Amino acid sequence: MASKISLPFLLILVYSKVLVMVHGKCMSPPPSSNFTVGGYSGLWFETGKIQTFAGAFFQRDCVCTTVEVTPEINRTNGDSTAINSCRKLTPQGKYLNATGHLENMNPPGKWKQWIFAFAPKVDYTVIYLDKDFAVEYDCSVKLGMTSYCIHILARVPNPDPNKVQRLVDFAEGLGLNTKQLPYKETNHAGCW
Ligand SMILES: *[C@@H]1O[C@H](CO)[C@@H](O)[C@H](O)[C@H]1NC(C)=O
Ligand SMILES: *[C@@H]1O[C@H](CO)[C@@H](O)[C@H](O)[C@H]1NC(C)=O
Ligand SMILES: *[C@@H]1O[C@H](CO)[C@@H](O)[C@H](O)[C@H]1NC(C)=O
């Protein structure tokens, strides 16, 4: 009797393992212990990123990429906007801006972000923060497909490359780059 129920059970077990392997999932890194809403607010220059195909395609023409984080007026729960801005192909190209809404902050440093009202919300976590740098990880699973991005952000357009490398290594060390994608530097030449 036991052997008769164990086969379908085993198949389900194997099938669910295969599903996870094929479709992947999001990681849940802890937010930086340095995180404060004020410390993350203001203008960041995108130094570079590790990004899956869909997001990379969406931002393929971007140069001079920045993100400006602003807490919502009179909101004390961490609700903020993140204006993602870049120029199309050249520093004089047209602006390609998209406003991210950071909501439901819990714990501090981890939000749900939405950009388009119809799209699913993504997990958005500030995994590193000091006065010069931030590292942000966002991830979502849509139709069984995992999309993620690890952003290295700095307060200046051309920060110390050694520090940048240490932050990339830090993110890799957390196991966030599950698809072993390459780190790509953002082009800021002639932007500022
Ligand atoms: C924010 O709060 C201040 C003081 O309570 C009030 O004067 C102001 O109108 C509020 N602003 C908004 C946009 O709600
Ligand atoms: C895009 O965002 C940048 C940076 O916040 C801003 O300076 C610019 O005016 C915006 N442009 C458009 C067309 O929204
Ligand atoms: C907090 O910031 C300090 C530098 O100000 C840095 O050395 C440390 O790694 C940061 N901690 C975290 C968890 O990000």
Cα(105) to centroid(ligand 1), Å: 22
What pLDDT, on a 0 to 100 scale, did the predictor assign at position 13? 53
Decide if 110 is inside a domain: yes
The predicted structure's pLDDT at residue 102: 97
Which pLDDT value is given to residue 1? Answer: 47
Q: Tell me how far the alpha carbon of residue 151 lies from the centroid of ligand 2, in angstroms.
A: 20
What CATH number does the domain containing 63 carry? 2.40.128.20
To the nearest 10°, the Cα dihedral for 112, 103, 186, 56? 40
**pLDDT, tens digit only, all 192 positions of the chain:** 455 566 555 555 555 555 555 556 899 999 999 999 999 999 999 999 999 987 777 788 999 999 999 999 988 899 999 999 999 999 999 999 999 999 999 999 999 999 887 777 899 999 999 999 999 999 999 888 899 999 999 999 999 999 999 999 999 999 999 999 999 999 999 999
Radius of gyration, CA atoms only, the chain: 19
- Whether 97 lines ligand 2, by a CB cut-off of 6 Å, is yes
Assigned domain for 120 exists:
yes
Domain count of the fold of the chain = 1
Any idea which ligand is nearest the CA of 171? 3
Write the CB contacts of 6 (distance below 8 Å, at least 6 apart in sequence): none
Domain of 169 in residue numbering reads as 32-185
Best probe residue, ligand 3, of 32, 33, 34 (max atoms within 8 Å of C-beta):
34
Q: What local confidence, expressed as pLDDT, does residue 57 receive?
A: 74
